[in-house]
Amino acid sequence: MSRIKNQIRRLRFDHGEMTQEELAQRAGCTRQTIIALEQGKYVPSIELAFKIARVFGVALEEVFQYEG
Amino acid sequence: MAPLQKRAWWGLGVGLAFTIAFVLVFVLMGGVETFDTDQTFRIIINVIWIGGLVAHLVIMDFTLRKAIVDERDKMIRDRAPRIQWIAVIFTLAAWVIGLNEVYQETSLIPATYLYVMFMSVLVASWLALSLGIIIGYWRANRNV
């Protein structure tokens, strides 16, 4: 399991129950990648991490946390 | 299922279908001896393997240009050639060992086998690419 945790699922619901598909489209990735991210099975590149944070309008650290 | 994963399954299915067709036609029409003498046989075989190659290119390349392929898909796709490489080496090894064992006494291997070897390596290569992508997604999804 990755040490990088994320709040994507919570943030989606906080943003009007945004669907995985909508987030994927706005971040420029596939829905499968969003699913993998939410399940902690994939660690995104810095670029994708910033794109996701930008979709939610929050800082990167609010979406991703390193639990080292 | 991601677009790349879907195409990999299609690529594997179509590749297997062409491989089975190729082997069946080759065996049923007389094998290596007939291949040397019968032009119609050669044309049919060429149509099958070139058709398979074109079908694979269409599935894995042209149709994929319209689909979303993100960084995770690219990572999986970039790792697939490792399995392709192993498949090519094992296919060549099987041919070398097999031909050597069968023709050791005469020391004469029919030249047609060069052609068949090339086609089989090509087929193994494209099947292994699809398989590599499928395995890549399977490993990525169980990475917990």
| Measured CA distances, B49 to A60, B33, B45, B131 (Å) | 51, 19, 6, 19
Q: Model confidence over B11-67: pLDDT tens digits?
A: 899 889 988 988 888 888 888 888 888 888 888 888 888 888 888 888 877 777 777
CB of B68 within 8 Å of any CB in chain A? yes
What residues of chain B lie within 8 A of the CB of A29, using their CB?
Answer: 68, 70-72
Cβ count near B36 (within 10 Å): 13
The answer to ipTM > 0.85 is no
C-alpha B98/C-alpha B102 separation (Å) is 6
Chain A residues bordering chain B (beta-carbon distance below 8 Å): 1, 28-30, 32-33, 36, 39-42, 44-45, 47-48
Query: Is the overall model pTM greater than 0.90, yes or no?
Result: no
